[in-house]
Amino acid sequence: MSNNIKAFIFDLDGVITDTAEYHYKSWQKLADEEGLFFNREINEQLRGVSRMDSLEIILDGKELAEDLKKEMTDRKNAYYQKYLEKISKEDILDDMESKLIELKEQGFKIAVASSSRNARKVLKNLKISDLFDTISDGNSVENAKPAPDLFLHTAEKLGVEAEECVVLEDAESGVDAALAANMIAVGVGPDDRVGKAHLVYSKVAEIDFEEILEKI
């Protein structure tokens, strides 16, 4: 099957860089201001989830007017944007940059497909935007992960079939989206989070693309 693989699609947060702590701090600040209960356990549920859906998880059934929810997610994003200013090339996880370059040299197409609307800004600060053939983000499709739309949109932009793509994801919703798109899913993280993937690596440093191509 590996002979058919033409593209690798990467989630951004947790696979290429790790801004999870910035998300956590931003949500925690908002929750404190609004008197909402929030902790790291709840934060884990937000991996790969859109901004508004994340707020709904934090609200835990509490009903608010739509304009107030929009103001709250905008405020959270403003806090997050400030944290993003600190991101630099040093924040690329492990040897991911060299792995990306190697895949390109081998003739594979590579893309980022992230639920984050800030994906392009993060990649620009990491100084690796030009490595990717295309970048899809939270503005690209209406239905967020676990819907397959973001990955299918990315494959279309790359000019490849879904079956020709390998997706690397650190979130359960992302793995579900990749499987729903009929793509090969490679999970990065603990089994209880990404165990449904075809292959699982506990951390970025362990990712072996030769092994991935051999095993699939």
The answer to the question of whether 43 is labelled as a binding residue is no
**Token pair for 68:** 């107030």
Which residue among 11, 137, 149, 176 is the active-site one? 11
Can you say whether the dihedral through the CA atoms of 45, 148, 136, 206 is positive or negative?
positive
pLDDT at 60 (0 to 100)? 96
User: Are residues 153 and 141 in contact, defined by beta-carbon separation less than 8 angstroms?
Assistant: yes
Half-sphere exposure of 198 (CA within 13 A, CB side): 20
User: Are residues 17 and 126 in contact, defined by beta-carbon separation less than 8 angstroms?
Assistant: yes
- Across the chain, which distance is largest between two alpha carbons, in Å? 54
Residue 67 annotated in active site = no
pLDDT at 174 (0 to 100)? 95
pLDDT at 28 (0 to 100)? 98
pLDDT at 48 (0 to 100)? 78
Task: Give tens-digit pLDDT for 52-81.
Answer: 999 999 999 999 999 999 999 999 999 999
The answer to the question of whether 150 is labelled as a binding residue is no
Residue 192 annotated in active site = no
Cα–Cα distance measured from residue 95 to residue 168, given in angstroms and rounded to the nearest whole number: 15
Task: Give tens-digit pLDDT for 3-38.
Answer: 699 999 999 999 999 988 899 999 999 999 999 999
The answer to the question of whether 186 is labelled as a binding residue is no
Q: Identify the structural domains of the chain with CATH numbers, from first to last.
A: 2-17+89-215 (3.40.50.1000), 20-84 (1.10.150.240)
**Token pair for 13:** 């947060």
pTM of the model: 0.86
